Amino acid sequence: MAFDSFDAFVMMGGHGPYVWTCYLVFFILSFVLILWSRKQRNAALKGLALRQVSGQTSGPAGKTVTNHGNTGADFARVDPSKH
């Protein structure tokens, strides 16, 4: 141990606020990114599962359906009244 007491460890010779701020921000933001990534993953799995249940999976079995560029609605405005 480089410190004589727990108080000395927390104070860090007056540098405590700086050191602990850094560690706190580091761990909080890292956890936020990890949780967000997990949430995205679970949402993707859930979305795919829902699509399977509702039977909208129209791709031919065993074949990879690739997007040939023009099939996506790129830059196209979606008219909400038609949905």
Partner 1 sequence: MWQFFHKLGSPKWFYGIASRLMPWLFWVGAALFMAGVVWGLAFAPPDYLQGNSYRIIFIHVPSAFLAQSVYIMMAVSALVTLVWRMKLADVFVKSAAPVGALLTFLALFTGAVWGKPTWGTWWIWDARLTSMLILLFLYFGAIALGNAISDEKSSARAVAVLVLVGVVNIPIIKYSVEWWNTLHQPATFKLTEKPTMPAEMWVPLLLAVLGLYLLFGWLAFMRMQTEILVREGRTRWVMELVQAGGRA
Contact footprint for partner 1 (CB under 8 A): 1-3, 9, 12-16, 18-19, 21-23, 25-26, 29-30, 33-34, 37-38, 40-41, 44-45, 47-49, 51-52, 57, 59, 61-65, 67, 69, 72-75
Closer residue to partner 1 (CB): 2 or 79:
2
Encode the chain in three state secondary structure.
CCCCCHHHHHHHHHCHHHHHHHHHHHHHHHHHHHHHHHHHHHHHHHHHHHHHHCCCCCCCCCCCCCCCCCCCCCCCCCCHHHC
Closer residue to partner 1 (CB): 67 or 81:
67
Smallest distance, Å, CB 41 to partner 1? 4
